[in-house]
Amino acid sequence: MAEKKREGDTLPLRSIHDFLFEIESEWGSFRTGSLLSLVTTVLLFIVFLPRYFLVTLRQGDPLDKLVAVTIAGLLLYSAYTSWRQHKFYQRWEKRLGLLLHLEKELLGE
């Protein structure tokens, strides 16, 4: 019994079943997080663009303009990466669903 416990402690994963179960339990929060990140970035960009960006470009110093353009660029990049992350989760959600279904068939559940 002590040998099994030591072996289980050193291995990062006991079985594919445990791996799939852990991923399935966390998958929704990952996908929701990517959507929330995308929505938050878009809202920040919508609020940021008219209030700060346009005023700074018209009246700001060169350093202020550089900061405004940098912030706008980073917000766009953040929106792009959040969108790609969400697409990744959508693609792999289907694959993991198929794996879970196959596992249930093989285990006879």
Q: What is the pLDDT of residues 26-50, one digit of tens each?
A: 888 888 888 899 999 889 888 877 7
Band of pLDDT at residue 11, cut at 50, 70 and 90: low
First-residue to last-residue Cα distance in the chain? 28
pLDDT at 8 over 70: no
For residue range 50-102, list pLDDT tens digits in order: 787 778 878 888 888 888 889 889 989 999 999 999 898 888 888 888 888 88
User: How many other CB atoms sit within 10 Å of the CB of residue 5?
Assistant: 9
Token pair belonging to 107: 């285990």
pLDDT at residue number 60: 80
Q: Which residues of 49-73 are buried (b: 16+ CB within 10 A; e: fewer)?
A: eeebbeebeeeeeeeeeeebeebbe
The values of phi and psi at residue 13, to 5°, are: -145, 130
- Structural tokens at position 104: 């249930």
